[in-house]
Amino acid sequence: MSQHKVIYDTDPGVDDAMALVFQALHPDIELLGLTSVFGNATIETTTHNVRFLAGRFAPGVPVAQGAAAPLKCLAPEPLAWIHGDNGLGNIALETGGEAALDTRPAHRFIIDMVRAHPGEVTLIAVGPLTNLALALADDPGIASLVKQVVIMGGAFGTDGVFGNVTPAAEANILGDPDAADIVFGAPWPVAIVGLDVTQRTIMSRDYLASLRDRGGAAGQFVWDVSRHYETFHEQSARLAGIYTHDSSAVAYLLAPHLYTTRSGPVRVLTEGIAAGHTIQKPSTMPVPAPDWDSRPECEVCVDVDAAGMLALYEHTICGTL
Ligand code: BDR
Ligand code: CA
């Protein structure tokens, strides 16, 4: 029996797609739904990509379209140089098999599913957090009914890294800093899987080639979809491989023992040159900090067993769990 009922909130996005395949193939995850959000591309593109991915890897799983823009500003420009013009590394997307779209907006879909399965639903959110903030605004009572929220986003500087889209901010949090500050402050259990661990977990070209050769259709897809993304990493970070962002949130859910965490409330700067910056007050810090102290503790990942995470992904894709 599946251990985790998951709603996957996503902005595909190459690494979002790789994380979806991971969830679809792992026996401990039951996907209750997929919700799209703007981010790596426009909402039209990310929603099309979610429908494509659902049709191909998660048939029967409902898909709902989410926010087109952040709570308080216009949608950002798509990140075509990272994720390709179509958000999926410019691979050809066969047409005809796309999943149908649920009639509800994503945040309503989330509310309905959480209320239908009280205490059971895990939200894995790997794009801007707008849909989750909208769900909380519409029905604050869901916070106490959600089992866990696992977020890929943020950067806490444990490796000297505070951001990837500005010196101070990670992409998903900068995508909607107001939403992120709301989500981190809500009374639900939040785990944050940020750049501190995702950039320490690198899928090398040889690793990806091995998935291609041993992982059947899923492995071939992971290889194909990551070619453009790998070129981006080579050019921007001189990496012969790719950072493991969104799949790390999935790995945290499946195998939290692979991660070292630090507890404490987290705030997000919502304006100024450091907008999107994430700051935790560790629970061990004795000084008062009123802007943090009234808020719930989040678990922030500060270290990872990267080899263990990569082995988990590999075994899942290759069917050797
Ligand atoms: C995050 O930003 C997006 O580009 C990726 O899909 C990932 O969710 C990494 O900063
Ligand atoms: Ca993403």
Over the stretch 4-54, which tens digit does the pLDDT of each residue have? 999 999 999 999 999 999 999 999 999 999 999 999 999 999 999 999 999
State mean pLDDT over 147-164. 96
> Three-state SS for 7?
strand
pLDDT at 159: 86
With beta carbons less than 8 A apart as the criterion, state whether 183 and 71 touch.
Answer: no
Q: Is this structure's pTM higher than 0.85? A: yes
Residue 152 CA: nearest ligand 1 atom is: 8
State mean pLDDT over 94-99. 93
Q: What percent of the chain has pLDDT over 90?
A: 96
E strand or H helix that includes residue 152: strand 146-152
Token pair 């950067």 in the structure block, residue: 155
DSSP state of 101: B
Task: Verify whether ligand 1 is closer than 6 Å to residue 152 (CB atom).
Answer: yes
Can you state the angle between helices 14-25 and 246-254, rounded to 10 degrees? 20
* Ligand 2 center–CA 288 separation, angstroms: 34
* Ligand 1 center–CA 37 separation, angstroms: 12
The ligand with the least distance to the CA atom of 193 is 1
Strands 121-125 and 29-36: unpaired
Phi, psi of 19, deg, nearest 5: -75, -30
Residue 79 CA: nearest ligand 1 atom is: 4
**160, two tokens:** 């000297």
Domains of the chain (ranges plus CATH)?
A: 4-318 (3.90.245.10)
* Ligand 1 center–CA 130 separation, angstroms: 15
Specify the range with the lowest mean pLDDT, choosing from 125-129, 211-215, 237-241. 237-241
Task: Verify whether ligand 1 is closer than 6 Å to residue 172 (CB atom).
Answer: yes
Specify the range with the lowest mean pLDDT, choosing from 55-69, 74-88, 238-252, 295-309. 74-88
Task: Verify whether ligand 1 is closer than 6 Å to residue 9 (CB atom).
Answer: no
> Three-state SS for 131?
helix
With beta carbons less than 8 A apart as the criterion, state whether 221 and 214 touch.
Answer: no
**Residue 204 pLDDT class (50, 70, 90 cuts):** very high
**Residue 79 pLDDT class (50, 70, 90 cuts):** confident
Task: Verify whether ligand 1 is closer than 6 Å to residue 281 (CB atom).
Answer: no
For 102-116, what is each residue's pLDDT tens digit? 999 999 999 999 999
Tell me which of 4, 245, 257, 315 is the catalytic residue. 245
With beta carbons less than 8 A apart as the criterion, state whether 242 and 230 touch.
Answer: yes
Can you state the angle between helices 14-25 and 227-237, rounded to 10 degrees? 130
Examine the residue annotation and report whether 245 is marked as an active-site residue of this protein: yes
Q: Torsion-angle region of residue 272: left (phi > 0), alpha (psi -120 to 50) or beta?
A: left
Per-residue buried b or exposed e for 231-254, using 16+ beta carbons within 10 Å of the residue's own CB: ebbeeeeebebbbbbbbbbbbbbb
State mean pLDDT over 249-278. 98
CA atoms of 297 and 266, how far apart (whole Å) = 7
* Ligand 2 center–CA 214 separation, angstroms: 26
Q: Please check the confidence at residue 207 and state whether its pLDDT lies above 90.
A: yes
Task: Verify whether ligand 1 is closer than 6 Å to residue 305 (CB atom).
Answer: no
* Closest residue by Cα to residue 218 from 48, 27, 53: 53
Contacts for 251 with CB less than 8 Å, ≥ 6 apart: 22, 258, 309, 312, 313
pLDDT at 2: 73
**Residue 1 pLDDT class (50, 70, 90 cuts):** low
Partners of 148 in beta bridges: 122
* Ligand 1 center–CA 288 separation, angstroms: 33
Ligand 1, from 131, 170, 172, 250: best to mutate by most atoms within 8 Å of Cβ?
172
Task: Verify whether ligand 1 is closer than 6 Å to residue 13 (CB atom).
Answer: yes
What ranges in 78-176 are assigned the alpha helix state H?
A: 80-83, 106-116, 130-138, 171-175
- DSSP notation for 252-307: HHH-GGGEEEEEE-EEE--SSTTTT-EEE--TT--S--HHHHTS--EEEEEEE-HH
State mean pLDDT over 306-321. 98
Task: Verify whether ligand 1 is closer than 6 Å to residue 171 (CB atom).
Answer: yes
> Atom 8 of ligand 1 has which residue's CA nearest to it?
126
Task: Verify whether ligand 1 is closer than 6 Å to residue 194 (CB atom).
Answer: no
Can you state the angle between helices 43-57 and 216-225, rounded to 10 degrees? 160
State mean pLDDT over 231-247. 95
Average pLDDT of the chain to the nearest whole number: 97
Ligand 1, from 79, 126, 156: best to mutate by most atoms within 8 Å of Cβ?
126
